[in-house]
Structures are given as structure tokens and as C-alpha cells.
Amino acid sequence: MHVAVGSTNPVKVEAVERTLSRYEPSVVAVAVDSGVPEQPWSIPETVRGAETRSHRALEATDANYGIGLEGGVADLEGVPGLSLVMWAAVTDGRRLERGSGPSIRLPDRVASRLDAGEELGPVMDDLLGTSGVAKTEGAAGVLTDGLTDRTSALSQAVACAFGPFQVPYYD
């Protein structure tokens, strides 16, 4: 199985490799534009970014599947505050499937900076005094005290989007 990931972010590539390891895939990272702002601001915008990445990754390669991963923030109905959300999209060129990872409420001081136009990765780096948190444990890891991390959270989204291609229940 040959898989193209619509990102060169090592966390996103590792999420795909880890999730699909039982299939022993050949995974290639492809730099593509998501077609959405750097900081997606809703579930539809985050999903659209993942879909675009999956299509563009597949089109740029001879892979069997294109996989797009996108993190964003959203106001979730019935849930207070602003939440971090993660979505994956998988396409084989004929079908497109989507799946989400976990969500977590962002601290108010982070949410207010995002409301002011900043992006989550740099805000988290500033809060932590680090550089490149989005390429390591991510906000998911920091805000759960390591109970999960960005790779694991994105892996769940990949599993939920890729699974329908592997079982007969979606025909």
C-alpha cells in the first residue's frame, strides 16, 4: 500500500505511519496547500482543509490513498469555550471519507489570543517558552499533561477516516 500525506509536518506523517503500520505502508509526505487559513476556525473549515490536503496529496503522487490532516479551533454547540479539533480525510480518488480525533477546550487566555487573530501553535510556544510545539506534543499533549499528544490525537482521526476503506460495511 502506497500512501501520500498532504503535509511534511513530522507529527502528521508519524500519525499516519503509526495508525496504518499493520498494513506496512509506504508513506510519502507531500507539501500541499490546505486551501484554508493557517488557523481554521470551524469544523467545516477544518474538514475542508483535510479534504483538500487529501486530494492534493493523491494528485501529486501515484499513491493508493491521499490522506489529509488538519487541526483547527471551533465553538462546539453545547460546550463552553473554544475547542481544539482535529480532522482527517482519506481518498482513493473515487471515495472520500472523514474522521475526527478528540477535542479539548482551550484555556480562556489562549482562546482570547486566537480571537485576536493569533495562531494556536505560536500562542502555545509563547505560553510555554518553547519553539515548534506543533511539531512535537502539540497543544493536545500540553493541555492533557501528556495523557495524549498531537500524534495520538491525529492517529485517531486517521483511523476513523481510513477504517471505512478496510471494512465491507460502507459499500
Q: Is 46 annotated as a binding residue?
A: no
Cα 10 to Cα 136: distance, rounded to the nearest angstrom: 8
Rounded to 5°, angle at Cα 30 from 15 and 146: 25
Q: Is 115 annotated as a binding residue?
A: no
**Where are the chain's structural domains?**
2-165
Q: Per this entry, what is the length of the chain?
A: 171
DSSP bridge partners of 24: none
What is the average per-residue pLDDT within 76-96? Answer: 95
Q: Render pLDDT for 144-168 as a digit per residue (tens, 0 to 9).
A: 888 988 899 999 999 999 999 999 9
Cα 118 to Cα 124: distance, rounded to the nearest angstrom: 10
Query: What CATH number labels 2-165?
Result: 3.90.950.10
pLDDT at 150: 86
Give the three-class secondary structure for 22: helix
Q: Is 8 annotated as a binding residue?
A: yes
Amino acid at 63: A
Burial class (CB in 10 A: 0-12, 13-18, 19+), 1: exposed
Cα 40 to Cα 152: distance, rounded to the nearest angstrom: 20
The pTM score is: 0.91
Q: Is 7 annotated as a binding residue?
A: yes
Q: Render pLDDT for 91-139 as a digit per residue (tens, 0 to 9).
A: 999 999 999 999 999 999 999 999 998 888 899 898 888 888 777 778 8
Question: Where is mean pLDDT largest: 36-40, 60-64, 140-144?
Answer: 60-64
Confidence of residue 71 (pLDDT cuts 50, 70, 90): very high
Q: Render pLDDT for 12-54 as a digit per residue (tens, 0 to 9).
A: 999 999 999 999 999 999 999 999 988 899 999 999 999 999 9
Burial class (CB in 10 A: 0-12, 13-18, 19+), 145: exposed
Q: Is 33 annotated as a binding residue?
A: yes
pLDDT at 55: 97
Q: Is 164 annotated as a binding residue?
A: no
